[in-house]
């Protein structure tokens, strides 16, 4: 599948099932979204630990080796600029450094409204609070730009044989 494409983007549920294991084995880059809440961080830790154990099992039993990831990064979602979640996000970035994306997806009512309508913020053309909407779009654009830069670096390395 990957030969005719520069990028194949897969979105898996936060569980380790056959689909997600196959996707991880085929992946070069992984982004794991996680909200800055203790229970969510614990779940993310358990998920990453399960990935490590699964990969170790396959390697020790001489099955095909999974890809080495060009990057595996955490993306903080439902982030806030103050309070305990902000402190938790700061601690996460301090401990894990560049393993956490620089930009986070901020918590916003725009997401609640668009999710209820099965759309994305980019598909909403009229939102009652334009300032909130613009802040949400600017935030998403910064996350997308960071993701694009990571991918450009990755694709450049592959295309140049590094």
Q: Which two tokens stand for residue 67?
A: 């890809």
| Residue the block writes with tokens 């309508």 | 117
Is the distance from CB of 152 to CB of 145 less than 8 angstroms? no
- pTM value is 0.82
Q: What is the pLDDT along the chain (162 residues), one digit of tens a residue?
A: 556 776 777 888 777 888 888 888 888 888 999 999 989 988 888 888 988 888 888 778 766 666 677 788 999 999 888 888 889 999 999 999 999 999 999 988 888 888 888 888 888 777 788 888 899 999 999 999 999 999 888 766 656 655
The contacts found for 81-84 with CB under 8 angstroms, 24 or more apart, are: 81/106
Q: Which two tokens stand for residue 76?
A: 């903080």
Is the distance from CB of 15 to CB of 57 less than 8 angstroms? no
Is the distance from CB of 155 to CB of 146 less than 8 angstroms? no
């Amino acid at each position: 599948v990957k030969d005719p494409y520069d990028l194949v983007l897969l979105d898996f549920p936060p569980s380790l099932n056959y689909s997600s294991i196959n996707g991880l084995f085929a992946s070069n880059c992984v982004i794991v979204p996680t909200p800055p809440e203790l229970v969510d961080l614990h779940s993310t830790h358990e998920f990453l630990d399960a990935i490590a154990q699964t990969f170790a099992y396959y390697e020790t039993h001489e099955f095909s080796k999974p890809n080495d990831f060009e990057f595996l990064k955490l993306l903080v979602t439902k982030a806030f600029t103050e309070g305990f979640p902000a402190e938790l996000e700061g601690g996460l970035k301090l401990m894990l450094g560049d393993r956490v994306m620089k930009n986070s997806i901020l918590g916003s009512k725009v997401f609640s409204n668009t999710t209820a309508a099965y759309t994305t913020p980019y598909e909403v053309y009229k939102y009652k609070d334009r300032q909130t909407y613009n802040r949400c779009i600017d935030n998403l654009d910064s996350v997308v730009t960071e993701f694009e830069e990571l991918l450009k670096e990755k694709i450049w390395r592959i295309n140049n044989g590094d």
